[in-house]
Amino acid sequence: MSTTTPTAIPTRTQVAIIGAGPAGLLLGQLLYKAGIDAVIIERQSGDYVLGRIRAGVIEQTTADALDAAGVGSRMHSEGLPHDGVELCVDGQRHRIDLAALTGGKHVTVYGQTEVTRDLMEARATEGLLTVYEAQGVSVHDFAGTQPRVRFTHGSVAREIACDYIAGCDGFHGVCRASVPAGALRTFEKVYPFGWLGLLADVPPVSDELIYVRSPRGFALCSMRSKTRSRYYLQCSLDHKVEQWSDAAFWEELRLRLDPQACDELVTGPSIEKSIAPLRSFVTEPMRFGSLFLAGDAAHIVPPTGAKGLNLAAADVTYLAAALADHYNGHDDEGLSRYSERALARVWKAERFSWWFTSLMHRFPDNAGFGERMQEAELAYLFGSQAAQAALAENYVGLPMVLH
């Protein structure tokens, strides 16, 4: 993990990247491979960033981006390729054969924490600069000709001039918040429930993910490795983590699983528990002058479709290619079309995540007609190879067109 001292911070770079999560780190590595100078500025410590617990279902396009960045070897050796997923509805499982339905494509289960670690270590190995614990970060003149980033580091006020700013600083970051309100158009749907997640060092209940729709609500059986599992329960937004003991979580999970999964479930003490609200959110456009938004700074998806990390990787893949064309090929079409290209993919992923969330969860106001529509949609899905192929195509990830 790279560290910084005030004297190591330059006064100018080509691209200033705000945020050292996977999006910012991946962009930095892709730019380095293209010969483009970049500095990453992060308000948290490196240990804090690495300690974030996130999902880790990797699409092929994301795996390709990690390979292009030179950080894919551990993912290939330790990640778990998945050729299918299972949907369990009212106690009966239905397998969606991803590989058979998509011409051999699959996803890889590899934790986002591990992706972050790989990117951090690669950046440190190359001696590239990441400024951690930067306080009071602000972005300036991105609508003009002299964009710059200001912050305090080690009690010293700093300013970095740059050609472009990449806002990879998340939903609550400074970059989107710095754009004049009149230049933004936002779209949002807030779901009336959250996910209670538990991480434990126990073997997974199945070799593949199981998405569960039960009379008691949604559940997800996932994993990080062959010895570490991640489980989720749909819960009310007014629930607090403190209300849920480990025993209560495991008991409720059993009530939502099918008999086979109950028999194979191994329980243990939690490493981490948290409740995450679910929302869909998109900002348009994703470019404002020399400021480009990427990842959660521009869009949020409910985690049902496993698209958050993958969308962020797609954004920075588009952006890195556009910046490489600009600096190395004197071609600005990629920069001009960045927002258009990224949003076309974002909205398709938003649609899939919204559809999958709407299909598998219990909604408090959905009794009667709405519930019958869910049942009809599920009956159609399980009886139609074409419908299953559409789910599989979206789940493994839609293709990317860079040019």
**Bridge partners (DSSP) listed for residue 274:** 197
Task: Count the helices and strands in the chain (H runs, E runs).
Answer: 14, 20
Q: Residues in the chain with pLDDT < 50?
A: 1-2, 5-6
pLDDT digits (tens, 9 = 90+) for 47-80: 999 887 677 899 999 999 999 999 999 999 999 9
pLDDT digits (tens, 9 = 90+) for 284-314: 999 999 999 999 999 999 999 899 999 999 9
Measure the CA–CA gap between 295 and 17, rounded to whole angstroms: 12
Q: Is 361 a catalytic residue?
A: no
Fold of 191-278: D-Amino Acid Oxidase; Chain A, domain 2 (3.30.9)
| ∠ CA 208-210-211, rounded to 5° | 145
pLDDT digits (tens, 9 = 90+) for 81-127: 999 999 999 999 999 999 999 999 999 999 899 999 999 999 999 99
Q: Is 82 a catalytic residue?
A: yes
Instruction: Specify whether the CB–CB gap between 289 and 142 falls below 8 A.
Output: yes
Instruction: State the distance between the two ends of the chain, measured CA to CA, in whole angstroms.
Output: 34
DSSP 8-state code for residue 72: -
Which H, E and C letters describe 56-68, residue by residue?
CEECHHHHHHHHH
Find the catalytic residue in 32, 191, 318, 395.
395
The token pair at 385 is 């190879």
DSSP 8-state code for residue 145: S
**Bridge partners (DSSP) listed for residue 229:** 200, 223
Measure the CA–CA gap between 387 and 101, rounded to whole angstroms: 10
The token pair at 45 is 């410590």
**Bridge partners (DSSP) listed for residue 69:** none
Characterize the bridge pairing of strands 130-131 and 57-58.
unpaired
Domains of the chain by residue range: 6-80+106-187+279-363, 191-278
Find the catalytic residue in 22, 147, 204, 303.
303
Measure the CA–CA gap between 75 and 81, rounded to whole angstroms: 10
pTM for this model (two decimals): 0.94
Largest CA distance in the chain: 65
What pLDDT does 124 receive? 93
Neighbours of 80 (CB within 10 A): 18
Find the catalytic residue in 211, 232, 318, 338.
211
What pLDDT does 4 receive? 58
Find the catalytic residue in 307, 318, 338, 361.
307
Measure the CA–CA gap between 161 and 239, rounded to whole angstroms: 45
Find the catalytic residue in 22, 32, 82, 164.
82
Domain 6-80+106-187+279-363: give its CATH architecture. 3-Layer(bba) Sandwich (3.50)
Residue 372 CB burial class (10 angstroms; 0-12, 13-18, ≥19): exposed
Radius of gyration, CA atoms only, the chain? 22
Q: Is 303 a catalytic residue?
A: yes
Of the candidates 8, 16, 6, the residue with the CA atom closest to the CA atom of residue 157? 6
Measure the CA–CA gap between 23 and 315, rounded to whole angstroms: 8
